């Protein structure tokens, strides 16, 4: 047995997609606090200060490749990848256009595939890689009006588990973090009634903070969690228990 008490030995090269705001921003800050070389992608707006920021759209392979090239030129291969970028386009099944389904899957699921595939080249060269895919309690539990989002988020579990079986022997781990209801812009736009219904069903009886997700993600890529792969870790105040 190896003794290891270091949470996340620094500095590693970390990439967080959609790291300009919300949960992604908190994840990027958590890694920065621990002394890592933190790179973020942002799709729109201004890049936040204090990170190596590259503009990229996860629906566009060429833009992802360009982002990785810039990061590699600065810090070498990405060692820790957090695929966080995600969108919702909620509506009930009978009103959902095929494009609403395809667009959400293209960002949340195929987008994760694109960045994981690109990062894997560097992992193999480095003989080290840590992947965290940001899913959702909805990927396991389901949610009315979110067939597209739920499908995209449960698909991430397939990616993490197949990646674990494919590359697990190369010192590469892949895990899923499934947040529940977290206070961000994504959830702030939900109707008050929906927010209240969630609150009533969460055993912790409160929403989570982006920092609570960020610390779990960081821990999951550190040495203390080096023997965890293919796992789904809920950060949801007990909302999805058993799913």
Three-state secondary structure call for residue 156: helix
Between 45 and 169, whose beta carbon lies closer to ligand NDP? 45
Between 5 and 44, whose beta carbon lies closer to ligand NDP? 44
Is residue 212 part of the contact set for ligand NDP (CB under 6 A)? no
d(CA 131, CA 122): 12
Residue of 148, 164, 175, 184 that binds ligand NDP (CB under 6 A):
184
Site string for ligand NDP, 87-116 (x = CB under 6 A): x-------------------x---x-----
Which stretches does DSSP call E strand in the chain?
A: 13-16, 37-42, 52-55, 80-83, 129-134, 172-179, 232-235
Closest distance to ligand NDP from the beta carbon of 127 (Å): 28
Three-state secondary structure call for residue 37: strand
Distances (CA, A) of 36 to 41, 100, 218: 16, 37, 11
Neighbours of 107 (CB within 10 A): 21
Considering the candidates 31, 42, 141, 149, report the single residue annotated as catalytic. Answer: 149
Distances (CA, A) of 242 to 62, 136, 162: 39, 14, 22
Closest distance to ligand NDP from the beta carbon of 186 (Å): 3
Region of 79-87, 94-102, 124-132, 223-231 interacting with ligand NDP (CB under 6 A): 79-87
Between 119 and 182, whose beta carbon lies closer to ligand NDP? 182
d(CA 215, CA 149): 24
Beta bridge partners of 54: 41
**Is 149 among the residues known to form the active site?**
yes
Is residue 45 part of the contact set for ligand NDP (CB under 6 A)? yes
Q: Please count the helices (runs of H) and the strands (runs of E) in the chain.
A: 9, 7
Between 84 and 148, whose beta carbon lies closer to ligand NDP? 84
Phi, psi of 174 (to 5 degrees): -140, 120
d(CA 86, CA 35): 26
Residues 138-177 that bind ligand NDP (CB under 6 A): none
Is residue 129 part of the contact set for ligand NDP (CB under 6 A)? no
Is residue 43 part of the contact set for ligand NDP (CB under 6 A)? yes
Is residue 201 part of the contact set for ligand NDP (CB under 6 A)? no
Catalytic annotation, residues: 149
Interface contacts to ligand NDP, rule CB under 6 A: 17-18, 20-24, 41-45, 57-59, 84-87, 107, 111, 134, 136, 179, 181-182, 184-187
């Amino acid at each position: 047995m190896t003794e290891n008490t270091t949470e996340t030995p620094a500095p590693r090269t970390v990439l967080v997609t959609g790291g300009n705001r919300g949960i992604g921003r908190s994840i990027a800050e958590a890694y920065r606090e621990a002394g890592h070389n933190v790179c973020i992608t942002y799709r729109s707006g201004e890049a936040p200060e204090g990170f190596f920021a590259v503009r990229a759209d996860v629906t566009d392979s060429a833009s992802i490749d360009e982002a990785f090239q810039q990061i590699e030129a600065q810090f070498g291969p990405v060692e820790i990848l957090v695929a966080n970028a995600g969108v919702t386009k909620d509506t009930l099944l009978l009103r959902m256009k095929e494009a609403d389904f395809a667009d959400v899957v293209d960002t949340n699921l195929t987008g994760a595939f694109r960045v994981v595939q690109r990062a894997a080249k560097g992992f193999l060269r480095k003989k080290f890689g840590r992947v965290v895919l940001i899913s959702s309690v909805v990927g396991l539990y389901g949610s009315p009006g979110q067939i597209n989002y739920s499908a995209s988020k449960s698909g991430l579990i397939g990616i993490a588990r197949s990646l674990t079986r494919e590359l697990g022997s190369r010192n590469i781990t892949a895990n899923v973090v499934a947040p529940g209801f977290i206070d961000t812009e994504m959830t702030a736009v939900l109707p008050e009634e929906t927010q209240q219904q969630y609150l009533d069903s969460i055993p912790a009886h409160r929403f989570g903070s982006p920092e609570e997700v960020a610390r779990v993600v960081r821990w999951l890529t550190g040495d203390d969690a080096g023997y965890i792969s293919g796992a789904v870790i809920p950060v949801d105040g007990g909302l999805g228990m058993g799913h």
